[in-house]
Copies of this chain bind each other. A is one copy, B any other.
Amino acid sequence: MSETPSAEPWQWSEPHWRQLVDQVRAGRRYRPQRWKGDARCAVALSFDSDHETNELREGGKSIGRMSWGQYGNRVGVPRIEALLDRHGVKATFYVPAVVALLYPDEQRRLVAGGHEIGIHGWIHELNSILPGEAERDLMLRSADALETITGVRPVGLRTPSWDFSPNTLAIEKEMGLAYDSSLMADEDCYELLLHGEPTGIVELPVEWVRDDAVYFMMHRFQSLRPYTPPTDVLDVFRRELDAAYDEGGLFQLTMHPHIIGYRSRIWILEEIVRHAKAKGDVWFATHAEIAAYAKAEG
């Protein structure tokens, strides 16, 4: 930063707030006329397999929350896999390295099934407040761990915080990642700009509105409760899908094995898959495939 910021934002100089805004920006939009196979709409399903890191990242004292994490591996992922297989759909799983080390077979099975494994931090650390060197080191080690376990080098990242530190994008560039899926400046894919310069990295944008945890997360010692009825969560997801289809755009969804996996929620995913398939000309693909296609054709 070019100056010491004043205590209050309303006292900041224009160069200061412009600099804050311009760190990372959305550049040109990647929106193909048609999607692969002449599809009208692309569907990108993703699952953040946080499992025990949900608790470990906060200090790891709760055995109860750790058991909830194990549920993700023991029940959540298998149930999701079976559903995707039943419908012949490929998806992307973002996996913290610690989860991959705890459950290497889970990751190998997913890769064998044609799914993508993406980077999701080391232990689901809040990357946006890490010292620069630590963030870089953890990101490199995370990619290595995933590659060692699955035999495939990951090409995309979803940051654990769904946020960037001032260093994140530069690290992604250094690592040669093809895409990121953590920001939300658009509903279409776009190119990420670093301090105004094109990076060649595609952003495949997420949004809280299309995230199961937003509606269903439970944390006993915080005020988070699963207050929204499942039928209404389906309604939100379906409206997002229908409008993406009408526009010929992209429908991206984020879920979590330990959240969507429950018996009273997994049907939401099935309904979305069925609803999309019923349209006839929808392309289900991994985030990596969609990002590559959008960049090449958009």
Closest to A29 in B: B74
Answer whether residue A264 sits at the interface, using C-beta atoms and an 8 A cutoff.
Answer: yes
A56 near B24: Cβ-Cβ < 8 Å: no
Q: Given A59-B9, A75-B187, A64–B164 Cβ distance below 8 Å? A: yes
Answer whether residue A296 sits at the interface, using C-beta atoms and an 8 A cutoff.
Answer: no
25 contacts between A and B (CB under 8 A): A9-B57, A9-B60, A9-B125, A17-B98, A18-B102, A21-B52, A21-B66, A61-B128, A63-B164, A63-B166, A64-B184, A67-B183, A67-B184, A75-B186, A75-B187, A162-B220, A209-B226, A209-B262, A223-B223, A225-B227, A226-B228, A229-B235, A229-B236, A232-B232, A235-B264
- Please tell me which one of the listed residues B161, B244, B247, B262 contacts residue A64 in the complex, with CB atoms under 8 A apart: B161
A218 to B220, CA, bound (A): 13
Answer whether residue A175 sits at the interface, using C-beta atoms and an 8 A cutoff.
Answer: no
A74 to B21, CA, bound (A): 14
A8-B125, A63-B128 given; 14 more Cβ-contact pairs under 8 Å: A17-B98, A26-B70, A63-B163, A63-B164, A63-B165, A64-B161, A65-B163, A208-B218, A209-B264, A214-B218, A215-B225, A223-B224, A226-B228, A230-B232
B214 near A71: Cβ-Cβ < 8 Å: no
B220 near A222: Cβ-Cβ < 8 Å: no
Closest to A137 in B: B10
Q: Which A-B residue pairs are the 5 nearest by beta carbons? A: A243-B263, A64-B163, A229-B232, A239-B264, A63-B164
Query: Residues of B contacting A240 with CB < 8 Å?
Result: 262-264
A263 near B182: Cβ-Cβ < 8 Å: no
B63 near A17: Cβ-Cβ < 8 Å: no
Chain B CB within 10 A, most for which of A24, A64, A186, A220: A64
Answer whether residue A68 sits at the interface, using C-beta atoms and an 8 A cutoff.
Answer: yes
Q: Given A24-B63, A209-B262, A226–B215 Cβ distance below 8 Å? A: yes
B226 near A229: Cβ-Cβ < 8 Å: no
* A283 shortest CB reach to chain B, Å: 18
Query: Residues of B contacting A161 with CB < 8 Å?
Result: 64
* A155 shortest CB reach to chain B, Å: 21
A265 to B102, CA, bound (A): 40
Query: Residues of B contacting A152 with CB < 8 Å?
Result: none
Q: Given A262-B240, A264-B209, A183–B225 Cβ distance below 8 Å? A: no
Which residues 244-295 of A have a CB within 8 angstroms of B? 244, 247, 262-267
A163 near B62: Cβ-Cβ < 8 Å: yes
Closest to A259 in B: B209
Query: Residues of B contacting A214 with CB < 8 Å?
Result: 218, 225-226
